[in-house]
């Protein structure tokens, strides 16, 4: 690649540092005390509260909103955290517009729901600012539990087990804890190192021993964990990335979206992170939107998200789609990749238009690209795992796997929805099941 191509193609510093910092500022700034009071007063405090049912962790929304409205934000935080110990992160990244806020009676009546997500953040931020943990551990039980994976499911499970008096050893393959909260979420959703701060705060419960840099299959075996502990919880996430499976998929400049987001999240200076001039993102979920928006914020001139079915069937919420388009990202639907062209490095991606049943129409289009991101789903990796179903660990309603003494939850388990809040619910519920099993 000559100097002219380098200048036009993938390179760092497309925008001034100040412009980049402004673009990556907090997506939803926190509410002031007065704003929270006004927002809370809009709640009808429904006795049958559909917002509770819509929340995967079952937070008593009317109760915590009423507590905020009566000037008790820390009591509201306890109400939230009793059900969702990662309530601070979920307030930032949950698609509330398709969960609790979509179910809100105000949304049905006026098209403007109570701002449940921002109120949840207001409460949890207040209690975290005190830097004191709101819960106390039960008396030690003498039971030892291994938790593999320090993402949302593993953290929620470890916290609930420690709360109940068990000794927990928390393993993770990466040097930092947090899983996708740390490595896989758009930086503008969780600025100021919030994921790491929330983990430190969560560990204030005590009774959790950390073992970062320890991967199942490389440094640990499931048999050894089972032999050395009374129970094991697997919150592995999905470590593999699906390939495009088309000619030229191997070309230079074709990257995994999750890897790029992880590099971005760990970068100390975003102005030094290289991004292309013409970026194509293949996929339709939250990861696709996250990488597309961040590429645009880093200075990419043209960013296009290409999804194989209609826009209505995209996994990303309508809010996320609108956010991307407001930043200048183009969304192209009903187009299936058929080839990546270039001489060593990618120069174009060829697509064929198709209907929602993926039947080709015969019409093709080529998009200029010097950087292509795959965001078409992830896969479970690992050997000697419990029985699988649909490519994930098969579990029952309590998270129990096919192996005695082994539970699983989050994205690696059946029933996972690739949402932080669902992973938290599964980790919490598995911990309760493990506690019952150990003490019963």
The per-residue pLDDT for 131 is 81
Q: How confident is the model at residue 368 (pLDDT cuts 50, 70, 90)?
A: very high
Report the domain count for the chain. 3
**Residues 6 or more apart from 166 whose CB is under 8 A from it?**
141, 143, 144, 145, 207, 230, 435, 438
Distance CA 406, CA 425 (A): 17
Whether residues 148 and 84 share a domain: the answer is no
Q: Indicate the residue among 352, 377, 402 that finishes a domain.
A: 377
Whether residues 172 and 218 share a domain: the answer is yes
Domain that holds residue 224: 144-239+380-439
Judge whether 22 lies within some domain: no
Q: Indicate the residue among 129, 158, 182 that finishes a domain.
A: 129
Q: What is the 3-state secondary structure (H, E, C) of 121-187?
A: HHHHHHHHHCCCCCCCCCCCCCCEEEEECCCHHHHHHHHHHHHCCCEEEEEECCCCCCCHHHHCCCH
Whether residues 328 and 220 share a domain: the answer is no
Q: How confident is the model at residue 62 (pLDDT cuts 50, 70, 90)?
A: very high
Looking up residue 71, the CATH number of its domain turns out to be 1.10.1060.10
Whether residues 280 and 201 share a domain: the answer is no
Helix 61-69 with 33-40: angle, nearest 10 deg: 130
* Residue 391 near residue 259 (C-beta atoms within 8 A): no
Q: Is the confidence at residue 371, as pLDDT, over 90? A: yes
Whether residues 388 and 416 share a domain: the answer is yes
The per-residue pLDDT for 286 is 95
Whether residues 356 and 246 share a domain: the answer is yes
Looking up residue 331, the CATH number of its domain turns out to be 3.50.50.60
Whether residues 232 and 265 share a domain: the answer is no
The per-residue pLDDT for 8 is 64
Whether residues 156 and 272 share a domain: the answer is no
Give 418 or 30, the one with higher predicted confidence.
30
Distance CA 362, CA 120 (A): 49
Judge whether 25 lies within some domain: no
Judge whether 6 lies within some domain: no
What are 203-214's pLDDT values in tens digits?
999 999 999 999
Distance CA 13, CA 354 (A): 37
Judge whether 390 lies within some domain: yes
Whether residues 354 and 432 share a domain: the answer is no
What are 216-256's pLDDT values in tens digits?
999 999 999 999 999 999 999 998 999 999 999 999 999 99
Distance CA 253, CA 261 (A): 15
Q: Is the confidence at residue 5, as pLDDT, over 50? A: no
Q: How confident is the model at residue 1 (pLDDT cuts 50, 70, 90)?
A: very low
Judge whether 257 lies within some domain: yes
Whether residues 414 and 368 share a domain: the answer is no
The per-residue pLDDT for 132 is 80
Average pLDDT of the chain is: 95
Whether residues 353 and 393 share a domain: the answer is no
What are 46-61's pLDDT values in tens digits?
989 999 999 999 999 9
The per-residue pLDDT for 100 is 97
Q: Is the confidence at residue 7, as pLDDT, over 90? A: no
Whether residues 249 and 371 share a domain: the answer is yes
Distance CA 213, CA 220 (A): 11
Q: Indicate the residue among 103, 129, 155 that finishes a domain.
A: 129
């Amino acid at each position: 690649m000559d100097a002219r191509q380098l200048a036009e193609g993938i390179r760092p510093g497309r925008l001034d540092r100040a412009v980049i910092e402004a673009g990556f500022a907090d997506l939803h700034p926190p509410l002031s005390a007065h704003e929270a009071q006004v927002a809370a007063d809009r709640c009808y405090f429904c006795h049958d509260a559909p917002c509770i049912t819509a929340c995967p962790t079952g937070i008593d929304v009317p109760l915590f909103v009423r507590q905020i409205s009566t000037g008790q934000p820390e009591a509201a935080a306890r109400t939230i955290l009793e059900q969702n110990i990662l309530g601070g992160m979920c307030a930032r990244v949950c698609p509330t517009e398709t969960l609790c806020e979509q179910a809100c009676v105000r949304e049905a009546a006026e098209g403007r729901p109570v701002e449940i997500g921002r109120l949840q953040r207001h409460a949890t931020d207040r209690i975290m600012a005190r830097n004191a943990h709101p819960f106390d551990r039960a008396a030690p039980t003498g039971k030892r539990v291994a938790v593999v994976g320090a993402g949302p499911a593993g953290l929620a499970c470890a916290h609930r087990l420690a709360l109940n008096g068990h000794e927990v050893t928390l393993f993770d393959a990466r040097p930092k804890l947090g899983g996708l909260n740390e490595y896989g979420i758009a930086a503008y959703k969780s600025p100021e190192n919030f994921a790491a701060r929330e983990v430190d705060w969560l560990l204030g419960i005590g009774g959790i021993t950390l073992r970062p840099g320890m991967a199942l299959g490389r440094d640990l075996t499931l048999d050894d964990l089972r032999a050395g502990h009374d129970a094991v919880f697997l919150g592995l996430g999905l470590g593999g990335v699906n390939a495009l499976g088309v000619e030229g998929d191997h070309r230079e400049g074709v990257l995994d979206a999750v890897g790029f987001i992880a590099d971005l999240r760990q970068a100390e200076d975003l102005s030094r992170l290289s991004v292309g001039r013409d970026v194509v993102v293949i996929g339709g979920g939250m990861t696709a939107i996250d990488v597309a928006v961040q590429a645009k914020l880093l200075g990419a001139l043209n960013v296009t998200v290409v999804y194989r079915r209609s826009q209505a069937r995209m996994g990303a919420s309508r809010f996320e789609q609108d956010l991307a388009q407001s930043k200048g990202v183009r969304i192209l639907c009903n187009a299936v990749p058929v080839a990546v062209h270039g001489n060593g490095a990618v120069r174009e991606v060829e697509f064929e238009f198709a209907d929602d049943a993926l039947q080709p129409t015969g019409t093709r289009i080529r998009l200029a690209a010097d950087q292509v991101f795959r965001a078409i789903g992830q896969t479970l990796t690992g050997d000697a795992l419990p029985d699988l179903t649909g490519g994930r660990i098969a579990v029952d309603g309590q998270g129990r796997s096919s192996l005695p003494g082994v539970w699983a939850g989050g994205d690696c388990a059946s029933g996972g929805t690739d949402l932080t809040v669902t992973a938290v619910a599964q980790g919490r519920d598995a911990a309760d099941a493990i506690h019952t099993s150990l003490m019963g």
